[in-house]
Each structure stands twice: as C-alpha cells, then as structure tokens.
Amino acid sequence: MNLTDNITTDTDYDVIVIGSGIGGLVTATQLAAKGAKVLVLERYLIPGGSAGYFEREGYRFDVGASMIFGFGTKGTTNLLTRALKAVNMSLDTIPDPVQIHYHLPDGLDLKVHRDYEKFIEELTRHFPHEKEGIRRFYDECWKVFNCLNAMELLSLEEPRYLMRVFFQHPGACLGLVKYLPQNTGDVARRYISDPKLLKFIDMECYCWSVVPANQTPMINAGMVFSDRHYGGINYPRGGVGQIAQKLVDGLEKSGSEIKYQSRVTQILLKNGKAVGVKLANGQEYYAKRIVSNATRWDTFEKLISPATLPTQERKWQKRYHKSPSFLSLHLGVKAEVLPPNTECHHILLENWQQMEDEQGTIFVSIPTLLDPNLAPQGHHIIHAFTPSWIKHWQGLTPKDYQQKKEEAAGRIIERLEQILPGISQGLDYQEVGTPRTHRRFLGRVDGTYGPIPRYKLPGLLTMPFNRTSISGLYCVGDSTFPGQGLNAVAFSGFACGHRIGVDLGL
C-alpha cells in the first residue's frame, strides 16, 4: 500500500520531480530559479527521456523526433529559449527552412516552407479551387497563435495570474476562451470541402498529435501551424539531447540536484497527502511537494496503489487512452544515398486509409543535414519511425522477437526507397527499437507517447491541469494540458512550476 500514515515526514527538499523529461526539467528549473531546493530523480543514466540521445559507432542519435519548436527569439511561445534563459543557459541552434516534406497518396508531394506565403502558395497549387478556404483556415490558426503569443504562458490554475493576464490582454483571453472547446477538423470544414485537402489537414495534425483533425484541439493546431512560420523549426547544435543537458547544468548551478539510476517505485502518502518517494533500492526522500513526470497511468496505477485511484482519474481514463508507441529505425548511411536538395524531415504514406494503422505512416528525420557533426564524415543519420502498439511485440521468444524486428525494419527500408533510392545499399549502421524498447528505457507504460482521446472531445476542455486530487501531488508532461509535443510539455512545465511556486509562497 502507498497510503503509509505512520511514516516520518522530515522534508529534505521543497520539491521532488520524478523523471527528467523536458516537462519535469522545465518544472524543476523554473522552481530552482525562484529559489526552491529541488531534487530530480531519473531512472536512466542521462536526462531527457524521449528528448534524450544515445551514441553508437560515431553516430549520435536522437531518441525521439528531431523537429523542434520553441527556440524562437521573439514573442512568448519560444518556451525552450525561455526555459534555458531562466537558469542562465542558452543553446546554439540551426534553422530549418522546411518543416516537413510530405509524400502522400495520389501524388500529393509538397513542402511546408518556413516562409508562410511560400507554403500557402505551394498548397494552393495543388488545390487551386480551395484557394480562399486554405487562406481562411490557416489565417484562423494565426488568430489562435497571436492570442497565445500576446501573453506570458503560465498556470491557468492560478486565479491571480488569470486576472492579471485578462486585464492586460482582454482580447487575447477572450479569443482563447472561444477556441478552447473547438477541434481543428470542425474549423477546417467551415472553409474547406475538398476531401483530399481535408485528409491533408488530418495528416498535418496526425504528424504531431497522433490523431486526425477532428480530435486535435484547435489551440494546439494554432500553436504548431503558426509557430513553424513564426519562431520556426530550429535544431539544437549537438543534437536534441543538448536541451536536457543544458537544463540540468542550469538546475545544478542554481543549487538544486539530479540523481541518476534512481528509479522511483512509490509515492509516499501521509494522511492522504503526497510527502515523499521511495526508490527501488529502498531509499526514501521527502519534500513539501511531489511532481510526477511519469504518464498518468504509471503515476496512479504503479507509483500509487490502483486501489486508491481518485474518481477524477477514473473519469479521465474513460475519455483518454494510451497513444501507440513507435517502431524506430536509427540508421547510419553513406552520404551519397541522399538525393540533392533532400530536406531534413519527411512524412511518407501510400494509402489514406492506413494513416492511423499499425506501421502506416512513416516519419523520417535526417538531422545531419542540419548538423553534420552528429555522424562520421561522409555519412548521415536517418531516423525513421512509425506508430506501433506493444501488443504486436508481446509473447515472442528472443529469437522470434529479433526476427520480427529485422523483418519490420526491412519493410520500412523498402518503403523508404521511394523517397531515398539506394538507401538499402548505403547502410552503414542499423538499430531497431520497438514499443518494448521504449517501455524499458523511457519507463512509460506500453511505451506510449501520451494520451489520445477515445472519441471526439470538446477541444482542450477535458485535459487535466497540473494539480491532482491528491494533496501535494502534481503531474507534468504530455498527460497534462496542453498535451503532446516538446513545446507543449515545456508549457506544462512552466505552468506546473508557476502553480507550485505560488503554493509555496516563492
């Protein structure tokens, strides 16, 4: 049982953060910058979670996606820039002129340029009869973004912040309230009727939300569809793992700490309040506030006894279920296999009906086109990943598991030949990860990358904020408002740090 009313509660820290994903690290650094004494407990050897890295034979691979928002230099939505600045850190980044090169069914081959007008022009060439609708839809996304970008993004659970922001920016606040219950698909259909173009907008959402437009909140789409042209996609020199490393450096310089190989197995409760954590080795730590950067399933069904699952969490689980994990191929290839003018990020799909299927859509990143130092000279990194559910990888013998991985990798490489001819002959290194790999190294139940709606929900209104039903316990990351994506979990971290700072009087 986690409900241990007889434990002592000498508080060694102001805040303990379970997990060093970007949401957890932003929470920790925001609080450390306010003067709190913070302890981050990370189960692995390095920080970052799915925004981490690993090295093999001269290659430095990003664990997850390489398409990074949040490094702009203006406005308030440049959350990664702001998070680093809070602890006197910064990162050198490399701008990407194209967000995604889409390779879609029916010959729909187009690029999302950083230049907004250039993107609108290219999309309109494919759908000239929808010229007005295209403009009106994406311009409406800008309305959402401009509301967000006008105000400091902190905790929506803090009344004084809400009052201050409303009086400073009443128009922006009312604009956001209008969009909170809306989904992207509903807005798109006001202006667009072409089924193929609506499918494209489904893919525009799916490539980061893992659900189609009618299940993607309009506020999230407004942020992504506009920030790619405003702050842009900017790749951190040295790889995505540098973001977490720099946040940790800032955390430690601010007087707080992180402990690695420290797997939390239990959140300790006293009289119904979260007061500490217990590690796999039996060691216990105590704090005034506990933050879980684990998924909500891991938090409330593993770190806390499922028998004490709060009613609020039961309701949440009826609305949301686990997103798929991914089958990932980390490849090292000879540079000559890339055609001239190849872009960094690609989406490949041959059949619209298979967009959400197991191993349907393929996401491709080639980060060495931006930072060649991540690979040996004359070589590139190709990270190809496709959605996959853990149920397809269970119950296999070690031999069958290895064989299935190799067969799946072979199918993906064969499909990649459509956009990267000769890739199979240019392979220098190959490593395959499955949902089981993601579960093992990231500590995420079933390897999931976060929650997705079970059915169509009213925008963001059903997403939980950082506070939970258990006193002293907060959640941060993709299981909380505003959801999945690196900039989204950074937003969650800002909000969580602000809410706890107010609660602690910092």
396-450: pLDDT as tens digits:
999 999 999 999 999 999 999 999 999 999 999 999 999 999 998 888 999 898 8
CATH number for the domain spanning 475: value is: 3.50.50.60
Looking at the structure, tell me whether residues 316 and 330 fall in a common domain: no
Q: How confident is the model at residue 151 (pLDDT cuts 50, 70, 90)?
A: low
Is the pLDDT score of 496 beyond 90? yes
- Quote the pLDDT of residue 38: 97
Q: Which of 178, 204, 230 is the last residue before a domain boundary? A: 230
Is 96 a member of any domain?
Answer: no
**pLDDT recorded at residue 77:** 82
In a shared domain, residues 208 and 251: no
Cα angle, residue 502 at apex, residues 499 and 505 outer, rounded to 5°: 150
Alpha-carbon gap, residue 167 to 488, rounded angstroms: 25
List the single range of 115-124, 151-160, 177-186 with lowest mean pLDDT: 151-160
Whether residue 460 is found in the same domain as residue 394: no
Kindly state whether residues 360 and 427 are assigned to the same domain: yes
Contact 491, 79 (CB under 8 A): yes
What digits encode the pLDDT tens for the residues 224-274?
999 999 999 999 999 999 999 999 999 999 999 999 999 999 999 999 899
pTM of the entire predicted model: 0.90
Average pLDDT over residues 293-302: 92
Q: 340-360: per-residue pLDDT in tens? A: 999 999 999 999 999 999 999
Alpha carbon of residue 490 to chain centroid = 9
pLDDT band at residue 2 using 50, 70 and 90 as cut-offs? very low
**Coil, strand or helix at 128:** helix
For 475, residues 6+ apart whose C-beta sits below 8 A from its C-beta are 291, 292, 293, 296, 299, 464, 466, 468, 496
- Listed residues 176, 209, 230: the one ending a domain: 230
> Are 266 and 304 within one domain?
yes
The whole-chain average pLDDT of the chain stands at 90
Place of tokens 């990231």: 442
Residue 466, in any domain of the structure: yes
Range of the structural domain that residue 252 is part of: 13-91+236-320+453-503
In a domain, 74, yes or no: yes
126-140, 145-159, 185-199, 365-379, range with the lowest pLDDT: 145-159
User: Residue 8: is its pLDDT beyond 60?
Assistant: no
Q: Residues 133, 276: one domain?
A: no
| Beta-carbon contacts of residue 208 (< 8 Å; ≥ 6 apart) | 67, 224, 484, 485
- Asked if residues 436 and 404 have their Cβ atoms less than 8 Å apart, the reply is no
**DSSP string spanning 232-292?**
-EEEETT-THHHHHHHHHHHHHTT-EEESS--EEEEEEETTEEEEEEETTS-EEEEEEEEE
pLDDT digits over 480-491, tens only?
888 778 888 998
pLDDT of 94 > 70? The answer is yes
User: Are 329 and 440 in a shared domain?
Assistant: yes
Q: Residue 308 has what pLDDT?
A: 77
Write out pLDDT tens, residues 36-64: 999 999 999 999 988 889 999 999 999 98
Please tell me the predicted confidence (pLDDT) of residue 180: 81
Domain closes at, from 445, 470, 490: 445
Number of alpha helices (DSSP H) and beta strands (DSSP E) in the chain: 15, 20
Asked whether residue 1 is domain-assigned, the answer is no
**How sure is the predictor about 157, in pLDDT bands with cuts at 50, 70 and 90?**
low
pLDDT at position 10 is: 52
Number of domains observed in the structure of the chain: 3
Residue 277 clears pLDDT 90, i.e. is over it: yes
Tell me how far apart the alpha carbons of residues 357 and 205 are, in angstroms, rounded to a whole number.
15
